[in-house]
Amino acid sequence: MSSSSLTHFDAQGQAHMVDVAGKPATRRVAVATGCIEMQAATLALIESGSAKKGDVLGVARIAGIQAAKKTSDLIPLCHPLALTRVAVEFAVGGADRPQVRCSATVETVGPTGVEMEALTAVQVALLTIYDMCKAVDRGMTIIGVRVLEKHGGKSGSYVAASPGAS
């Protein structure tokens, strides 16, 4: 893949913010997911609500929403977007590999997509879980962060293949 096929580089190979002024405003939706693996005792603390720093998943949800709104402050070439919806959800489980799975759905009506906002929401929500639980489990691991789907815009829809699908 050459740098000329990457939209964030101009003809001279210099990084630039993509001009989206000529693109129509359409409804854009992206869903991202990721997971944090941990010790069973750490997951039990989260589920019981007895973590020393408080409601881990509640705080992580707010952190993810806030991160989606601030993505353009964190990722240099992202456009600031007027988001119309950010939803951050968690699923806990995994007897053999205790974990918290996070998914973020982000929506806007505009000329560019919201994949980066969904990915940022997931990453920051998972980092918040790590921060709130690191006193009892420094070995937590964030894995599998990716875009599951995106809809809207000229390129249409994308739905990721299931992990392990051939």
3-state DSSP call for residue 132?
helix
Which residues contact residue 23 at a Cβ distance below 8 angstroms, ignoring those fewer than 6 apart? 111, 112, 153, 154
| 24 vs 144: CA distance, rounded Å | 32
With tokens 């630039």, the residue in question is: 16
| 43 vs 98: CA distance, rounded Å | 6
Q: How far is CA 68 from the centre of its chain?
A: 8
Query: Which entry of 10, 19, 55, 131 is annotated as an active-site residue?
Result: 131
Query: Is 137 designated active site?
Result: no
- Residues catalogued as catalytic: 131
